[in-house]
Amino acid sequence: MEELTLDLDIPQQPGENAGQAAGEEESQVVALKEGEVADYISGKAIKETPKEKVRQRTARALVHEYGIDPDDMERDFALTVSEEGAKRKRTKKADIAVFESGMPHNTANLRRVVVCKPEPKQTKNVFKLRTPDQARNDLEELQELMGNDGRPLCAHGMWTDGADFFFLKKVVGEFGVDFEDRSDWEITDGTAGSRTVASHQRLRVAEPERLKIAFRRCHNYIHGNEGMPKDAAFWQFLYLLFAKMYDERVSRGTGHGRFRVGLKEMFEADGRAAIAKRVRSLFEDVKGEYREVFKPTDEITLSDQALSFIVSELAHYDLSASDIDAKGIAYQELVGTNLRGDRGQYFTPRCAVDLMVEMLDPQQDETVLDPTCGTGGFLQATLKHLRDGWKKEADTFGFPDTKEEQERYADLLKEYADKHLFGADFDRFLVRATTMDVMMLAQTTGNIFHMDSLAFPRGHLADVEKAKERIPLGKTVDVLLSNPPFGADIPISDESVLGDFRQGIARSWGRDPVTGEPTASTTTTPKSMAPEQLFIQRAIEWVKPGGRIGIVLPNGILSNPGPTDEAIRRYILEHCWVLASVELPVETFIVDANVNILTTLLFLKRKTEQEVRNWRMKTEKSYPVFMAVAEKVGFDRRGSELYKRTPDGEPVVETSVEIERLNIRGKQVVRPLRRSRKVIDNDLPVIAEKYREFRAKYPVPGSDPREAAGAGA
């Protein structure tokens, strides 16, 4: 978790008054020891306990989602409490106290209190979520802190353990105090970051960690309360997520969205029925709009109570304006948990995906294809890479988007996804999941085809003809990224598929008795081949000459001494320039795939016909190849984060400044947040930087027209 402290120096964002002038004294950087984090509220080093992890996530959300100034918060604020009518009083501490904007931190100015508890233990990544009635004993502690009578202005309370979130509104009436269950915190005047009561339904940008928790809570609620298996719960959640995105698009600016919930609506039977009626009607419109994604028989089968819970979790977020990385991380975590394949599909860890996209550097006018797209990780990373590139060109990278930038980048991403972003998979459920992912990130369903990429341009699946028109072999694809299915236990034995590879890789290989070089048999052919072997040839055939390839391969193909693997390596050298090879440690796929697979990321550039002839004639000019071995990827075999350490074993801490746009005291403020954090021990970002340095010194091979003619060989 990232811990932030406010810095007083305000860098100037281009074209914007960033606020406070530079030159004021900076806050001191916190030195962190083992087991410590920098407190988000005070900036001091504190012990990282299970409860503290929940408090830190909550404090960050109060700033980024509710617009509360950290200066108006205090941790462990002591309050005198008593039961109603009791004479005996005692002192308790509010884990987070929120005060009137800019006012002294005392009981008279207290406006909100938060109770934080350690996150409960989970079984197979599932929490059993509770209703307010089931958590009533826990909420009594929150009621005490809010005050039965002595603090009438402390009207809002939150109780959370990181899995459950409960909100109370204190109402002081003629006959005493009542505590009402609410779906969220009401935004009122007189509170830090306040808007107006009428603006409660205004959508807010999601804080990344909270969005991930919200997605997980939605899925867990369905799985735990509706009696559905995990995969069925997953699809019900995606139906609602798609409805949410559609509602944002069609209702923006009208104030009449249907994906909404009142502050008390979900706690009353009639209110839950009204929510369900609105959203089911909305989903019918979604099916009509996206007939290529949804079947007429698709329906939301959740109870009114479950449906209301999901809507209450997602309704207040503006997903179209939320950070593309935050949405991608939350979505990929949920999808990966529920749609792991049983046909060798090992969903690529995010660190490897980011490295491959960074090294291949797809551009705005280039067509990108993942022919084994799985859950869409490479496509998602491509969209983020392009957006980051646009911000770097505008010299605003590191600054939060303005509203104008949000809209402009959304339009650019939609245009790119419609024209240049393509995916394919033979699993129709993965095709559907990736389509929904692209919709969430780029506000369009994009071009995700249900087909067998090895059988292409033939095959019986639904989208072959569309793919033949948009991405024919060797014609339009500039960049291909793929983590193909691995394994001899899932061989390709269909001759209608193997026949297309008989002139390339799918041959019986032996060795010339004189030279020892691989030679193809003229009398026999293999009855089956491992899919990753065939995908190498298919990837090369798919990109146009000069096109770039990034592919995940088991190490054996690149190192085994047998004639078949050597023949594959020769095929690669004949048809491609080898740009780079990055070997990954075994931990990379243990966590996500639960298998011990040593893999290499291979980066290629397809040769022109003349360049292939040069290789065959042995007139090709030698060229340097970038090679790296990653020893650490940021996590161990159990999935726990790894941190860099000093020689005496202490974690290495780095400091940086992030510029964020906050809604503080009702105004949009750009403020820098100085962050102290432990450094993740991950070699891949360093490898990406070293590759950029390598390419600055050594141009991409094949870029010199003299090489195409064999000059200098």
**The two three-digit tokens of residue 588, written as one number:** 């990379």
CA dist list (Å): 152 to 101, 136, 139, 172:
17, 21, 18, 7
Among 105, 611, 687, which residue's Cα sits nearest to residue 354? 687
- pLDDT value of residue 316: 84
Whether the per-residue pLDDT at 479 is higher than 90: the answer is yes
* Residue 488 pLDDT class (50, 70, 90 cuts): low
- pLDDT value of residue 85: 54
Q: Which residue has the higher pLDDT, 677 or 336?
A: 677
- CA dist 37 and 43 (Å) reads 9
- CA dist 483 and 597 (Å) reads 13
Q: What is the pLDDT of residues 368-399, one digit of tens each?
A: 999 999 889 999 999 999 999 999 999 888 77
Give the 3-state DSSP-derived string for 83-121, with helices as H, strands as E and coil as C. Answer: CCCCCCCEEEEEEEEEECCCCCCCHHHEEEEEEECCCCC
**Residue type for 507, please?**
R
Q: Which residue has the higher pLDDT, 705 or 245?
A: 245
Q: CB under 8 Å to 196, separation ≥6 — which residues?
A: 187, 188, 189
User: Is residue 700 a contact partner of residue 605, using CB atoms and an 8 Å limit?
Assistant: yes
Length of the chain, please?
713
Whether the per-residue pLDDT at 613 is higher than 90: the answer is yes
Q: What is the pLDDT of residues 83-95, one digit of tens each?
A: 555 567 788 999 9
**The two three-digit tokens of residue 583, written as one number:** 């070997």
In the chain, what is the straight-line distance between the N-terminal and C-terminal CA atoms, in Å? Answer: 54
Q: What is the pLDDT of residues 407-428, one digit of tens each?
A: 899 999 999 999 999 999 998 8
- CA dist 491 and 498 (Å) reads 11
Q: What is the pLDDT of residues 39-80, one digit of tens each?
A: 888 888 889 899 999 999 999 888 878 878 888 999 999 998
Q: What is the pLDDT of residues 6-40, one digit of tens each?
A: 333 333 444 343 333 333 333 445 566 777 888 88
Whether the per-residue pLDDT at 4 is higher than 50: the answer is no
Please tell me whether residue 262 adopts helix, strand or coil conformation. Answer: coil
- pLDDT value of residue 267: 85
- pLDDT value of residue 185: 82
Choose the weakest-confidence range: 38-42, 195-199, 429-433.
Answer: 195-199
CA dist list (Å): 443 to 249, 253, 296, 324, 446:
8, 16, 22, 11, 9
- pLDDT value of residue 396: 85
Torsion over CA: 624, 629, 634, 639 (sign):
positive
Among 141, 61, 69, which residue's Cα sits nearest to residue 111? 69
Query: CA 310, 318, 677: angle at the middle one, nearest 5?
Result: 95
Domain extents in the chain: 4-202, 210-314, 347-499+532-633
User: Is residue 383 a contact partner of residue 442, using CB atoms and an 8 Å limit?
Assistant: yes
- pLDDT value of residue 707: 45
- CA dist 470 and 447 (Å) reads 9
Regarding beta strands 576-583 and 599-606, do their DSSP bridges make them parallel or antiparallel, or are they unpaired?
antiparallel
Q: CB under 8 Å to 96, separation ≥6 — which residues?
A: 41, 55, 58, 59, 62, 73, 74, 75, 77, 113, 114, 116
Whether the per-residue pLDDT at 490 is higher than 90: the answer is no
* DSSP code at position 402: P
Among 557, 513, 502, 338, which residue's Cα sits nearest to residue 429? 338
Rg for the chain, CA atoms, rounded: 28
Query: CA 478, 484, 486: angle at the middle one, nearest 5?
Result: 155
> Of the CATH numbers 3.40.50.2300, 3.50.50.60, 3.40.50.1820, 3.40.50.150, which one belongs to the domain with range 347-499+532-633?
3.40.50.150
User: Is residue 450 a contact partner of residue 463, using CB atoms and an 8 Å limit?
Assistant: yes
